[in-house]
Structure 1
Amino acid sequence: MFSKLAMILKSTAICRHYSQCVISLVVLHPSYKFSDRVTVAFFLFSMVHCFAQGIIQSFLYSIDTEFEGVVTEIVHAAHIPLINMTYLEGSSNHLTLRMCDNIPHGQSHYPCMVIFQSGVNVINASAVESDTQKSISILADYSQGFEISTADDGVLVKSSAAEPVILNQQCAQILVYPQQVLQNSVREDMTFIFFQFWVLGVSVFAVGRGSIPHMITALGSRFLIAAWSAYIVIYRTKSQQRIFRELVSAPGTPCGVELFPTYFGTRYVYNIADVVMSFTALLLSALLSWNLLKVYSAQSFKRVGAPEHVLRIYKYFMAVQAVLQLEVFVLVVATSLWVDVLTRTAISKISTHTPIYDALIIATTVLVIPWIALGWYGVRREQKRLIISFLGVGFFFISGWAIMFYSIVYRWSFVQWPYLGCFTVASFILIISSMILGTICWRNFDQGLAQYLNAEDALADSNFAPEVFQHSDVEKSGEKSDYYTYDEPDFPMPTFHSAMQSGEIMRSDGSRMPAPVRGPPPSYDRPYNAPTPF
């Protein structure tokens, strides 16, 4: 059964050799070597962790979507134009929230007006037609059902649990800020759900092909996930909770109701679980990857025995592969986030150079996969034309996205949404790193890397097994080989045995004579050559 399944996996290119397919199917058999156990453990860990953390991030997506839908419905019921967006300034207890119909920087006419200042009495604060306690009980559980509609003096919120509540127009304008924050959270949740499955794919490919670059890519991806999860738990969730309370639920504010009664408590629990799983996965992945990297590094060029300078160049080649593989996801995510901002937010109404942005987005989407292929094949085959094309496309990416910072709407989105800013900066770092590493490989062309890689692939395609030349395990274990050895045989008779130990042989008359010196064993498989007479 395992043979058939292994052949299926090999035919689908999940694993390259039959032995690797068997390792992927059998679970920790006692007869397996340590490296095989680590391989299976890494595969199972990647699979289980992907689905476990994917479920947690799905819960985060669900709660963010639920509350974002409620706030968006209130904003739409107040007929606030899509072009209006909020701009928050200040610190705790000194917040200033402005409503703008354009970017508040670089304009001849200031396009914003103040709609809320913390610590300042608001004129229409009594427009909520119920006290704070009743408002909390009405909106405590959205699953019980509620209805939002437009009223003469605001937005009417009806619930089957209590009396209806009217939120005034100023409260609806303030809620544009939580709407923007929650929409960004939904985008982040979706990105990380896809990120988990992308890491799983890279990890499976790494153990299936014994690829060091893919292993490093998976480890770097988990580091990014863990770093962002820690940032959310340590700073962002608490900061958002404080700001939302000061803007919406604090007594004396234009809203004066608790629209997010269970949101931050539930989300914080999910965030804690997410960060624990992220760092656990990072540590386990680092431990397992370290053991696998030692095995894969020892197997590099084992078949042909590359010299030291070729191994050094090969390390740069693997670094190029790892950077390019991580850049695929980071660049695509940064581009996709900007597309979402450009089409589904107030920026879509404000931007005046959208066709130019669309051209850069389309060019990036079309060129990213060929660019990766140019870098890989250019270094792998030592083709100068391919590597020059790779550097040219990389320069186009850097210059194109650097020019984007000339756009005021892009700069505004970059600053206001740290998640977009992080992925954009990461994409720049990876592009520049890949170009530097590609240039280093270019300078080391024609020094033997391509020849050794071709020999390695040729031996791998012929199913050449390098293990037949490994004697270290046998020598260390002390097991006897089936081949002829030059050790002295034991004599069957005790007399001869004892005599041989003393270096003498007993004659029939009781006298002793020196034992003859034994030479090498006779070679019966070679033709007999008679000695030449003197």
Structure 2
Amino acid sequence: MKFTILSGSQSKRAFVKQVLQWSRIKLVYQRITLTKFTTLFFFLSLINCLVLIILQSIAFADNQAASEIISGFLVQGNITETKIVFLAGNDLYECSDVPQRDEGNCDLLVSGDGSGGSGSMMMMNATHDDRRELFEVTSSRSFTLKPRSEDFHNVNVVQRHHKEHAKTEMDSNGQIDGLILDNGQFLDQTCLQSLIWLNDVIHDSMAEDIVTLTFQVWLFLLSFVTILNESLPHLGSSIAGHILVTGWAGYRLNSTFKLQSHYQTLIVHQACDGADFLGTWWEVRMGHTIPILVFNVVALVAATYLASRLYKVYAQQSFNRVGASSRIHNIYRLVLVLSVCVQLGGFFAIASTAMWLDKASTGTIKRVAMHLGLYRAVFVTMGVLELPWAILGWTSVRRESRPQFIVFAGLSLLLLASSSGIFASPLYQFIFQTWPFFATMTITSYLLIVFTSILGVWCRTNFGRGLSEFLKETEVPEGADFDPVYYAPDKVVTKPRNSVSSLVLKDSEMTFEKRSLNTIDESGIHYLPPLLAASAPTSKVPAVTVQKPARARFSNFHPRFSRFSKSSSVYSDVHRGTVKISSTPPLLRDTPLSPSTPLGLSTHHGGFEPSPAPLMITSTSDRGVRMATMKGAGVDITAGGKELTTSNIGPSLERSPSDRVRALNGLPSNPRPSRQ
């Protein structure tokens, strides 16, 4: 029995969880299918993400295949990669140390113009103020080697990609000086050393493929959150991301043409005497790179159009749903720009940090770099701090949380100091100058961190001016049939949905401070027909008393934040006081009256006596408010102390004389049928 009860409770929990899951799925479905533009935007983002992930994966596989080919030749030639080989202009240089250092020893490896012998290199040494300092290093060796047959003997034959077979050649001391292909073509150390540069470039392309692939997933998540939360910052970040990734796709196509040109000129024709290691690989890579650019352009155009349509809807909801002043709107726009910078800056900062760590941990850099452990510690710390920095930048300003903003400001200063200081590193300068994609990511990340920090300080100066209340009040409960009331420091204002009747304050466009809230002119409550009004008692009807509402709960709200909302419901403001009016004149009873009988009095044994005390009607709903002719406020009709709600008025209650009695007194008939 105990087991059965436990199983039943578990099944209930499982059922509840399933219901919640289905409710979330239903909510997501409703947001996606809200309009045709939201549906198109979602499916465009999904298709764009899937297609570009496939294309980027194919490009990654192409680069991986080329890297395996080049690495195979380097391993077979016993190239230990103890020197850095890089491209400067149209020449290849090899250095035993980081080139930016004064003690760096760099030699000309391959000249683009085909000249041999000693050469010179012009290195760009970037300083902090972006001025360039040139230094010259003279080459001490020839860039080509002439093999002599008496210095080599055959070792073994290994399967390779080019010419099917290659032989490793050693000199008399057992040192490998080159490879001989199956057609007898010799690959010397210069040729093999030049392959180090090509292998590094292809490895960098693989890292670019991974970053771009991740960026496509991130763009889809931004688009999904845009639709789910109807978020303007995510919408702006998504479009900015499309622009950046499309620009980079175009640049990468251009860089592929340049890389192929350098490969053919420096490696195939100069260093390796016509040996082509990659063959038709370049055509394959072009065939996979061009579709990436085309699809990015199409996605950018379509996403921009759909985003413009969504922006009109989301902006109208964000700015017009809350009746705020223009100053609050300007602050909110500033926060939107900050949110876009935070999202983009967070991704680019993390991506550039990961790329630098990968570059410094592989290839020849890790063998020649000094203080590499310190660099890694700095970049790992930056990578760990960048995610909470982005989160705090988003939440601290929107919530106007001063403690969170202090932490965000501290992290911003730390990231700015680290990013600025790392530029002084020769190793960082070298990677920055020889890897365009990394340079683009780093510059974008740095600028976004700077802009985010400046905008964060600017937003901090606007704390306490009502932004947090503005953002809270934009969240209208789903299914609510009224508009919320928005608060100001010393006043609570509403904008009526319909025209205000003569009973309600006619100066509805004025604030409570400018109105006279003590009394309403008694002419506003004369609702009797002309004949009844002419026979009404001469005593003044008590004035309508309106209680001033309690002070708004957000006392620190800016006084300029005063517009009228669209609601006049009594439920719009829980702090609103009731509106009390006096009792209406007594109604005639179903007893014959002489024309001279004053209204409100009945005959009794030939004399006059006051009518019974009228009932007090308390309105508890909008219907009751309308019945009491007071729209948009609570109403008490008090006389004699007896109380009824409009919902409790039974059929036995007659609030007007019968048509027969009214006709005897010269009054028009009641257009409404009496309740039986």
Counterpart in 1 of 2:202? 182
Counterpart in 2 of 1:249? 268
Q: How does 1:269-348 map to 2 (within 5 A)?
A: 269-300=287-318, 303-348=321-366
Q: Secondary structure at the match of 2:93?
A: strand
Paired letter, 2:480? F
Distance verdict in 2 for CA 1:324–1:266, change over 3 Å? same
Q: CA deviation at 1:56?
A: 1.3
Could you tell me how far apart the structure 2 residues matched to 1:524 and 1:355 are? 78
Q: Secondary structure at the match of 1:300?
A: helix
Could you tell me how far apart the structure 1 residues matched to 2:410 and 2:70 are? 46
Could you tell me how far apart the structure 2 residues matched to 1:427 and 1:216 are? 17
1:217 has 2:218 as partner: no
* Conservation of the 8 A alpha-carbon contact between 2:91 and 2:266: no
Q: Percent identity?
A: 24
Q: How does 1:463-502 map to 2 (within 5 A)?
A: 463-464=479-480
Paired letter, 1:236? S
Counterpart in 1 of 2:221? 201
Distance verdict in 2 for CA 1:127–1:446, change over 3 Å? farther
Distance verdict in 2 for CA 1:6–1:61, change over 3 Å? farther
* Conservation of the 8 A alpha-carbon contact between 2:87 and 2:434: no
Please report the TM-score for the alignment, with normalisation by the length of structure 2: 0.60
Give the alignment partner of residue 104 of structure 1, picking from 77, 99, 122.
99
Paired letter, 1:102? D
Q: Secondary structure at the match of 1:60?
A: helix
Counterpart in 1 of 2:58? 59
1:48 has 2:47 as partner: yes
Could you tell me how far apart the structure 2 residues matched to 1:306 and 1:321 are? 20
Distance verdict in 2 for CA 1:302–1:6, change over 3 Å? farther
Give the alignment partner of residue 449 of structure 1, picking from 451, 464, 467.
467
Counterpart in 1 of 2:281? 263
- Which structure 2 segments of 5+ residues have no match? 1-16, 117-142, 150-158, 171-175, 485-494, 499-624, 629-653, 667-676
Q: Secondary structure at the match of 2:168?
A: strand
Give the alignment partner of residue 30 of structure 2, picking from 22, 27, 30.
22
- Which structure 1 segments of 5+ residues have no match? 13-17, 27-34, 129-137, 473-522
Give the alignment partner of residue 115 of structure 1, picking from 109, 113, 124.
109
Cα deviations by residue, 1:197-227 (Å, 9 ceiling, x for unpaired): 1111111111111111111111111111111
Distance verdict in 2 for CA 1:373–1:115, change over 3 Å? closer
Distance verdict in 2 for CA 1:366–1:97, change over 3 Å? closer
Moved more, 207-216 or 70-79: 70-79
Paired letter, 1:191? V
Counterpart in 1 of 2:38? 39
Could you tell me how far apart the structure 1 residues matched to 2:148 and 2:437 are? 36
Please report the TM-score for the alignment, with normalisation by the length of structure 1: 0.75
* Conservation of the 8 A alpha-carbon contact between 2:83 and 2:368: no
Q: Secondary structure at the match of 1:446?
A: coil
1:82 has 2:81 as partner: yes
* Conservation of the 8 A alpha-carbon contact between 1:125 and 1:253: no
Could you tell me how far apart the structure 2 residues matched to 1:149 and 1:194 are? 41
Q: CA deviation at 1:306?
A: 2.6
1:423 has 2:441 as partner: yes
Q: CA deviation at 1:145?
A: 10
1:8 has 2:2 as partner: no
Q: CA deviation at 1:269?
A: 2.0
Counterpart in 2 of 1:519? none
Q: CA deviation at 1:192?
A: 0.7
Distance verdict in 2 for CA 1:211–1:242, change over 3 Å? same
Could you tell me how far apart the structure 2 residues matched to 1:190 and 1:454 are? 39
Counterpart in 2 of 1:362? 380
Q: How does 1:368-387 map to 2 (within 5 A)?
A: 368-387=386-405
Could you tell me how far apart the structure 2 residues matched to 1:123 and 1:262 are? 26
Paired letter, 1:342? A
Distance verdict in 2 for CA 1:291–1:467, change over 3 Å? farther
Could you tell me how far apart the structure 2 residues matched to 1:259 and 1:183 are? 16
Could you tell me how far apart the structure 1 residues matched to 2:244 and 2:86 are? 29
* Conservation of the 8 A alpha-carbon contact between 2:338 and 2:456: yes
Q: Secondary structure at the match of 1:103?
A: coil
Higher Cα radius of gyration: 2
Distance verdict in 2 for CA 1:5–1:213, change over 3 Å? farther
Q: CA deviation at 1:157?
A: 7.1
Highest relative contact order (Cα 8 Å, sep 6+), 1 or 2?
1
Cα deviations by residue, 1:155-195 (Å, 9 ceiling, x for unpaired): 5477xxx7575422221112111111111111111111111
Q: CA deviation at 1:470?
A: 13
Distance verdict in 2 for CA 1:330–1:466, change over 3 Å? farther
Counterpart in 1 of 2:452? 434
Could you tell me how far apart the structure 1 residues matched to 2:222 and 2:147 are? 57
Q: CA deviation at 1:272?
A: 1.4
Q: Secondary structure at the match of 1:269?
A: helix
* Conservation of the 8 A alpha-carbon contact between 2:31 and 2:228: no
Paired letter, 2:94? M
Q: Secondary structure at the match of 1:406?
A: coil
Q: CA deviation at 1:331?
A: 0.6
Distance verdict in 2 for CA 1:380–1:413, change over 3 Å? same
Could you tell me how far apart the structure 2 residues matched to 1:299 and 1:89 are? 54
* Conservation of the 8 A alpha-carbon contact between 2:98 and 2:369: no
Aligned residues: 443
* Conservation of the 8 A alpha-carbon contact between 1:100 and 1:113: yes
* Conservation of the 8 A alpha-carbon contact between 2:190 and 2:271: no
Could you tell me how far apart the structure 2 residues matched to 1:368 and 1:253 are? 44
More helix by proportion, 1 or 2? 1
Could you tell me how far apart the structure 2 residues matched to 1:210 and 1:239 are? 43
Could you tell me how far apart the structure 2 residues matched to 1:464 and 1:166 are? 82
Distance verdict in 2 for CA 1:218–1:163, change over 3 Å? same
Q: CA deviation at 1:385?
A: 2.6
